Every structure is written in structure tokens, then in C-alpha cells.
Structure 1
């Protein structure tokens, strides 16, 4: 049994990740140190621009209010066009539900707004939403770069509103529906349930976390860490926002009295030693779940709403290894949290600083759109198919490190940078010549074209040396960890019985 400490100045005996018992006085200097570490981390996040200003918050609220009015006016017009009864027109109701980072209160100045548009069954997605509402938004002052993403798993409209990106899916719902009702899945189709999953998870997390501000601070910290360390991005086989939100909520549930610095320590200690593929499950008395059951997939994380299912995941053998290495690195660094030379900046050192030193060869993915206005659509299409490319490489016994960073090709001076983007993925192999790039490109190109209704661009795969990567300025005073491509067996990870150190 080991000890951690809480906000009330008591020492908490920790017997396992789910149990906290006993409380004895903690020496004042440790309480003070914990407090100062938490304050310094909050200040660090503020300095990095992770906390929006009051003006930015007001601007987002204004945008949401405008969207709500636009949607309500739109549904009234649709009801009239559908020749609904007079009372049906006046009572026609639609609205906007905010979710994602903004819905959880962990957005920053660069975050987009995830806004679910919901309406009655008589308002169709194909005609009324993608045509009718699209035209309304297109003519709205402040809205620009609007386009429809119809072939995604969650169809949506994407646009810029007063300088802020908005992702807006659409769901047709029964009147007065309870989003968290166990009966909801029986009253809507599978596509709508998938569209609603983000909203439902958000709502349930906010109900389940014991201390909202602590949860928000931890999630801000964890998301920034994942982005800095190159393990953020569902489409790259890493952790997405919904995964990190549930992991952070789990830590807050199991340690409700911990300060921020102790929560960060607990986060890395827990998940560096988690017994994957046993799923992470939030404590929720309203849902009957079976714990400690091995799930399919490398890193299962259970959604806290019915039906009890795991979040969609693209984690593969390659990306699981990368994520675990980062958990272990974070655990190693935070175990020195009480050392006098500890600095939070080391935890968040950009992975890109060392990326070109870790691998001798890289898979270069060149993307070129037919026009600069189509680049966003083409990149989105290619990124949505990246999981299949990662799996294809693994079929060739090649582990890859899919860096999410988008680069401009410095070696093709005749290419318009506004129409092109390049990705570089580290290859964990000493024999890159064994990779059949021609076959790999042909297979991936076929995957890209299947069912795509947009304007296709060009895509080329090649293997290049590290010297071709763009130069990146190194940050001083940082600690570096070696890359490790050994893939541990599942049973090598165990839930820690206590904090160590």
C-alpha cells in the first residue's frame, strides 16, 4: 500500500485504482508543494493558450445563439414547404446541441465547435439539411467555406462562422426525446445513434465526474500532451477527444479529492500499467456492465451510455506501441514530480523535435488537390482512409509511426503549396527496400476511390531518408526518450496496486 495526497491536506491510502480508504494528516510542505505544482501547471496551460479569453468565450456563445435562431427559422420554413397543419408549422421545433471540446468546456481559441443540428422526422437529411439549410447558411453573414461531407461515417456540414470552424451533423429525432434514455436506441436508426454518440457521451461524462473544474483542467492537460507527443488523432490510429475525455473522467472518479498535479501523476501511473485489452469503464450505477472482460481491439474504452459499447477505435499494433511508450514516458517523468529540477515543460516536449532522429526511413505521402478550394476535402478523404494504410503496412510486417503533422513539400518548388500537403511517417524497419511501394500505393488508391463522390486529387507514396524531412527547431532543456518498437504482450500490463516511487 502506498500514499497519495488530496486537496484537503490528508494522506490517502491507495490499495488499487478503484479504492481510496483512510485519511491521515499530510505534512504541510507536501500540501504546499502539491498546491504550487498545480498552480504552475495551470499557469503553463494558460501561457500555451489552452484557456480561452472571456472575449473568445462570448464570441462562441454568440455564434451558438445565431445558429439556434437560423435552425429554428429553417425548420419553420421546411414545415411550411411540407404543408404541415398550421399548428404543426408554429410548433415545429429544431435546435442545436453543442458537444465535443466546447461542450465539455475544454476548448481553446483554435478549437472548432461541434454543433449537432436536430429536427423532426419530416425534415430530411439529403434534401432539407444538405440543400435547404446549406443554402440558408451560405447566404448568412459571417459564414464562409461551407461544404457538405456526405460520405463520412457521420455525415455533416463544415463551415467557418465568424472565423471559427463549425462541424454540424444532423439527426432526426422524436419530440421531447431523452438523449440518455436506455430506450433511445429502439426509437432511432443505427446511423442516427452513431451521430448522437458524441452528444450522449458528453452529457453523461458531465454528470459522472465528481469535480468538474478538476476534470476540465486534467483533460486540457492530457489533450495538449497527446497533441505535443504525436499520439492524438483518431484517424491516425491514436486517441481522439472522446477517448481522452473518458480516460480523464475515470481518473477523476477514482481520485475525487486529488489536486491537478496529483491527477496528472495518477493518469500516467494508471494507464502506463493498465491491463489492456480489459476496457476502461466509468463508474455508472445506471448501466449494467461486466467489468474485467477482455474486449476486441488493442485499447478498448467503454462509452458511459447505453447500449454499453466501446468507443470506435482505430488503434493498431503500431499505434498501440506508440501510445504505450508515451504513457510510460509520462509516468517516468511525473514520478519525479517532487524533485527540485522538475519542470512541466519536459512532459510536453514536442515529439516532432526528435522525430527525424528516431528513424532512418520515412513513408512520404504526397497529396495534391486539383484546386486549392478542394484541398481540404481531399485531405479529409485521405485521412479518413489512413487506418487502412497503417494496417496494410502491418500486413507487410512494418510498424509505422504515423505523424499527424501536415507539411509543405520543400523539395517540389514547382508545386503550389496551397494545393498540396505532405505527411511523413516513421518506419520501424531496417529493411525499407522490402516494402513494395507500388503495390502499397495501388491498394491505397483503390481504397480512396471506393465510394468517393468528391473531386479526387493526386496521391503518391514513396520512401525517403530522414534528411528529406523539414528542419525543426529543437527546444532547449528537455529530456529525450528512446523509441522502442518492441510490442509488449497484453498480459505484461497490470493495473498498479499503488503509487510507487
Structure 2
């Protein structure tokens, strides 16, 4: 938005906290932060981006061929929609991270047989596909593998059409007509697109999110497997700060992120849109009916729900502690301008003298991957029982 243009009423559920434009010191701070990111936490190389792009192009062709092979006679111009979402779409991923992708297919291709049997077998027969595994017993079933060395995760959603319209609109799709598994898979990809649409400055948001994720990773917080926050959670938190400061520069967004969430009055929800604006009459998150939620972070797509409904009291205590540490570090950065200190690794073994160490072993790499996935699925159960006993 140009400086002379009119200000919108709001960029989210409330009016912005500040319409201020960056000052010279704030711009200087941002330049220093960008320099630290470039030197010590560089983005993917051109070669890595090319490898990812090539792998996605190849997977798209595989997906289109697979759907055509399953097409009944008499149906012409059949197609599938395939694209990447998540951290890859937001440009905050690392090369080692699996790229989140989705295939949106016609009604005659189902999950159980079409996706997890026919497509799985097709991938198994390809020499360039390695470490293939299927995870079905989850809200969003998926397959994960490496294609030409590039890690990829794919989910599938079936639409109630024999032929998907070429002008298909991701945000106007009627989720009421989908089965539950397809709806969950569909929502997973729509969340990323909607977050990106709801923030006022995409470039500032993207770099701020990458900054916060690097900080979270350095402190062991970048994992919803052990009860902390996942990619969507961090994106919504950073997105809310961007909405509150629509014209702020990068350093201000990072400062405000820690300033606000170090004192956030949970269980007040963090949301980018009002969930009551859902036009489809599906059950949505409500502070009265969901009053037991500890750390509500609300998905911006209908049906809006708390994507951190499994957060425990101990998770919240840990997160608040780390947010406060980040805020204290930011106060020092305003004085010494040393952004490297924000990303210093957390001294876990100095902080905790008692901890649980789990070793997993298997006789093949494929079995180890499967064993690891089983272990991760049970880890939250273990954590919840420990929290229940120790408080």
C-alpha cells in the first residue's frame, strides 16, 4: 500500500496496534538482522531449489498419469490438481525438510484403494523413489518418500466431481460435499494459502517467520511431535504480529513478536480471522464451548478450529518461558545490535539434569523409518502421562 493511500479498517480481528512506518534505526536494525541471516543461516542454494522444482515437476507428471490410468471409460479430459504448500510455499523451508504437497483428484479415485494401494505400488516400482512409507492412522493420512533425493510428503483429497473444473478455486470449494479425510487433507493446504493472503506484507512476513523458526529450532521448540508448535502454529503467530503492525520493518516485527507473546494472556486465542464468519455452518472453534483449551491457535480456514488443541499446561509453561527469554534477548539486541545472540543454541543439558533419552534401532533403514514414525506417534502419549503424574 502506498503511503498516500487510505488505511483499511483492520488487517485481522482487531485494528492494527500501530500504523507507523519504519524509522532509520529500525531500518538499520533490519539490515543487521538480514546480514546475520545471510551469513549464518543462509537460504537454500540455487542448486537445491532446482532439485526441488525438478522433483515436483516429475511428481506432478506421475500423479497425472496415475489418475488417467484409473479413469473409467467414457470420461474425457480427466485431470488432477497437484501443488506444494506449507513451508515450501512460504519459502521458509530447508532442503532437508519434506515438501508438503497435495493431489486433488476426481471422485472415482479413493484413498484406500486408489491412493494407498495403486499409487503406493506405482511409487514402489520407481528406482528414483526411496524411503517410501505410508501413514494412515492420522487425521491427515499421507505418504512420505524421497524422489531423486528430495524429501516429499503427499496427501490426497477426493472431490465429488468426475472431472475437476479447470477453473477450480481452492478457496471456494464446497467442503461440505467432501468426506472427512479429504476435507482434513484439503484444509491442511488451504491454511498456508489463507495465512499468506491475510498478512499485509508478504515479504516481511516470510522473512520474519523464517527468523522465528530459526530461533525456535535453536531452542528445540520447532516440533509438534513432542507437543510444541508446528509450522502452521508459528505462521499464525507471526502473521498476527504482522497484522498488528502492517507497515513495520522486519526487526520491529521480530521485537514485537517476543514482546507480545511473552505476556500473552492465554487462553485468549491467536487468530487471523473471526471464526464466526464461517459461511458453511460447520462446527467452529468457540471460546465458550472450547473453554478447556489451554493454548488456542485458530486455523484461518473454515471450519476454523484450534490446531493446538493438544497443548498441555507444561507445554504452555515452556513456551512462555522461551518467549520471555527471547524478549529479554531482544532488549539487549536493541542496545548492542548483536542478532547472533538470538540464535544461540539452548543449553538444554545445563537447564535439565533429569530427562528421558530414547534410542531406536532396526536392522534396515526402511524398518528404522517405520519404527521412528511409530515412536513419534506414541511420544505424545508418553509425555501426557508424565505430565499427568508430575504436573
TM-score (norm 2): 0.87
CA contact (8 A) 2:19 2:245 kept: no
Q: Which of the residues 189, 195, 202 maps onto 1:205?
A: 195
CA contact (8 A) 2:141 2:181 kept: no
Q: Which of the residues 148, 157, 180 maps onto 2:171?
A: 180
Tell me, yes or no, if structure 1 residue 35 matches structure 2 residue 23: no
CA contact (8 A) 2:159 2:178 kept: yes
DSSP-derived class of the 1:366 partner: coil
Pair 1:309–1:151, CA change in 2 (3 A)? closer
Pair 1:284–1:152, CA change in 2 (3 A)? closer
CA contact (8 A) 1:97 1:199 kept: no
Tell me, yes or no, if structure 1 residue 301 matches structure 2 residue 297: yes
Residue number in structure 1 paired with 2:54: 62
Tell me, yes or no, if structure 1 residue 113 matches structure 2 residue 102: no
Cα distance in 1 for residues equivalent to 2:379 and 2:353? 22
Q: Which of the residues 70, 87, 90 maps onto 1:101?
A: 87
Cα distance in 1 for residues equivalent to 2:376 and 2:19? 49
Q: Which of the residues 356, 368, 393 maps onto 2:361?
A: 368
DSSP-derived class of the 1:385 partner: helix
Cα deviation code 1:43-69 (max 9, x no counterpart): 222233441223322322222221111
DSSP-derived class of the 2:277 partner: coil
Q: CA deviation at 1:248?
A: 0.9
Q: CA deviation at 1:284?
A: 6.1
Residue number in structure 2 paired with 1:355: 348
DSSP-derived class of the 1:336 partner: helix
CA contact (8 A) 1:236 1:386 kept: yes
CA contact (8 A) 1:281 1:291 kept: no
Residue number in structure 2 paired with 1:145: 131
Residue number in structure 1 paired with 2:108: 122
Cα distance in 2 for residues equivalent to 1:56 and 1:363? 36
Q: How many residues align?
A: 370
Cα distance in 1 for residues equivalent to 2:259 and 2:66? 50
Q: CA deviation at 1:95?
A: 2.6
Considering only CA atoms, is the larger Rg found in Structure 1 or Structure 2? 1
Q: Which of the residues 250, 265, 285 maps onto 1:260?
A: 250
CA contact (8 A) 1:265 1:334 kept: yes
Uncovered stretches (5+) of structure 2, i.e. residues with no partner:
4-13, 279-283
Name the structure where strand makes up a greater proportion of residues: 1
Residue number in structure 2 paired with 1:216: 206
CA contact (8 A) 1:49 1:109 kept: no
Residue number in structure 2 paired with 1:390: 383
Pair 1:313–1:21, CA change in 2 (3 A)? closer
Pair 1:350–1:22, CA change in 2 (3 A)? closer
Cα distance in 1 for residues equivalent to 2:99 and 2:387? 35
Uncovered stretches (5+) of structure 1, i.e. residues with no partner:
1-6, 9-16, 399-501
Cα distance in 1 for residues equivalent to 2:45 and 2:17? 36
DSSP-derived class of the 1:19 partner: coil
Tell me, yes or no, if structure 1 residue 273 matches structure 2 residue 263: yes
Residue number in structure 2 paired with 1:84: 73
Cα deviation code 1:354-377 (max 9, x no counterpart): 222222222232323353321111
Instruction: Map 1:349-498 to 2 at 5 A.
Output: 349-351=344-346, 354-398=347-391
Residue number in structure 2 paired with 1:345: 340
Residue number in structure 1 paired with 2:149: 163
CA contact (8 A) 1:97 1:117 kept: yes
CA contact (8 A) 1:50 1:220 kept: no
TM-score (norm 1): 0.69
Cα distance in 2 for residues equivalent to 1:387 and 1:290? 23
CA contact (8 A) 1:238 1:315 kept: yes
Cα deviation code 1:286-336 (max 9, x no counterpart): 935999767432210111111121214432122211111000011111123
Aligned residues: CA RMSD: 2.6
Name the structure where helix makes up a greater proportion of residues: 2
Cα deviation code 1:180-231 (max 9, x no counterpart): 23x7231112222211222111111121111111010011011111111111
Cα distance in 2 for residues equivalent to 1:22 and 1:91? 50
Cα deviation code 1:256-298 (max 9, x no counterpart): 1111000000101111111100111114699359997674322
Cα distance in 1 for residues equivalent to 2:366 and 2:311? 31
